Amino acid sequence: MLRYWIGLSKRYDLKVNNTEEGDDGSERGDKAIMITFFTAPKAFQGHIGIIQRNAIESWLRLRPQCEVILFGDEVGVAEVARELKVRHISKVAKNEYGTPLISSLFEKAREVGKYDVLCYVNSDIIFMSDFLKGVQRVIQWKKREPFLLVGRRWGVDIDAPWKFNHADWEKRLRAFVQKQGILFNQSYIDYFVFPRELLNDIPPFAIGRVRWDNWMIYKARSMHVSVIDGTEEIMAVHQNHNYSHFSQGEKEFWEGPEAKRNLKLAGGRWHLMDLEDVTHILTPQAIQPTPFTNHLRRFLQRMRRSPWMLPLEFPLAVSKRALKRAWNRVKELK
């Protein structure tokens, strides 16, 4: 049971065609990385419209230029896609609430994406040049084996279009985030970079609700795929926003019927993981394995939440209180 917490990897023959052979027949990892970004934006109205434009424009400014696919038929999506000259696919499967399904997005992206490396990213996330550099390092490291690259986000308030026409737009943004931003905890996962053949058979999760992102890490770990946390080397900028697009506000996001269904589709809390469950960490020096003690700690934490432990909770709690009382008695006698 502990196996996929300690980072054992199985080799897959995936065709991630982002390496080329050198003169000696060995693989070189210096070929430019080409990525297909895909997302399902909300309606391009008000503040949400501004920050989504900021995000998409940042992806388009990465070099070499990447493919961007916008899914869905929300207000303004088709018009923005034409304006920014990105691909638009309006037809995606939805649930009875009209919410696009993650399974449909990933399936269609695999079918139509130009490149072998895909990146699902929430439509309010700005990337800078460090993103492709991080992806390049992971692909060089993994060669033709599968991987899942994820990371924490920096939250910051941006209320106007960012001035991408300035040559130093990235330098200004990085300084602004470092001064005004907050690094969110390991539970917030806003992007997934992976080879095309990975992450099949996704349940019909509702996008924009909780739990499906945690299941993605669990899915990769259960397949013995390396999951890399890129936070140290990739600054993913989340432009803060309210939850006015939910009829019941933030509570609906966390506890609404679609959030509850996502949890059920995931198979319960035992099948939820976050960035504390990664197998490797992308650092400035190397891609380092997560220490075994971290995996053991997480395993024990999860075991405590497991339904298998319920019969033991009461006797364990009694034992803990008894030990505490005994220790306090020993201290009194000293």
Any idea what the CATH number is for the domain that residue 241 is in?
A: 3.90.550.10
Residue 4: the pLDDT is 44
Query: Residue 269 has what pLDDT?
Result: 82
328 and 202 within one domain: no
Provide the pLDDT confidence category of residue 33 given band limits of 50, 70 and 90.
Answer: confident
**Domain of residue 188, residue span:** 3-290
Q: State whether 165 and 210 are in the same domain.
A: yes
Residue 155 shares a structural domain with residue 301:
no
Q: Is there a single domain that holds both residue 170 and residue 304?
A: no
pLDDT of residue 167: 95
* Tens-digit pLDDT profile for residues 102-137: 999 999 999 999 999 999 999 999 999 999 999 999
Range in 3-17, 116-130, 142-156, 280-294 the model is least confident about: 3-17
The rounded distance, in Å, linking the Cα atoms of 5 and 277 is: 7
Q: Look at the block and give the residue holding tokens 């920096």.
A: 154
Q: Are 233 and 305 within one domain? A: no
pLDDT over 70 at 314, yes or no:
no
Do 194 and 147 form a contact (C-beta atoms < 8 A)?
yes
Mean pLDDT of the chain, nearest integer:
84
Q: Is the previous residue joined to 203 through a cis bond, with omega within 30 degrees of 0? A: no
Predicted confidence (pLDDT) per residue in 221-244, tens digit: 999 999 999 999 999 999 998 766
Please tell me the distance from the alpha carbon of residue 247 to that of residue 204, in angstroms, as a whole number: 22
pLDDT of residue 303: 64
Most confident of 2-16, 155-169, 317-331: 155-169
Residue pair 184/150 in contact (Cβ under 8 Å)? The answer is: no
Name the pLDDT band for 294 (thresholds 50, 70, 90).
confident
Tell me which of 327 and 177 has the higher pLDDT.
Answer: 177
216 and 328 assigned to the same domain: no
* Same domain membership, residue 328 and residue 267: no
In the chain, count H helices and then E strands: 10, 15
* DSSP 8-state code for residue 231: T
Are residues 62 and 91 located together in one domain of the fold? yes
- Shared domain for 250 and 320, answered yes or no, is no
pLDDT of residue 256: 82
If one counts the domains in the chain, the total is: 2
Interval 272-284 mean pLDDT: 94
pLDDT tens-digit readout, 136-179:
999 999 887 899 999 999 999 999 999 999 999 999 999 999 99
Which of 214, 216, 204, 190 has the alpha carbon at shortest distance from 258?
Answer: 204
Single residue among 257, 273, 290 that ends a domain in this structure: 290
Would you say the C-alpha torsion 51, 53, 56, 57 has a positive or negative sign? negative
Same domain, residue pair 262 and 190: yes
312 and 177 together in one domain: no
Helix (H, G, I), strand (E, B) or coil at 159: coil
Residues 35 and 127 reside in one and the same domain? yes
Can you tell me the mean pLDDT for 74-82? 97
Helix/strand/coil for 297:
helix
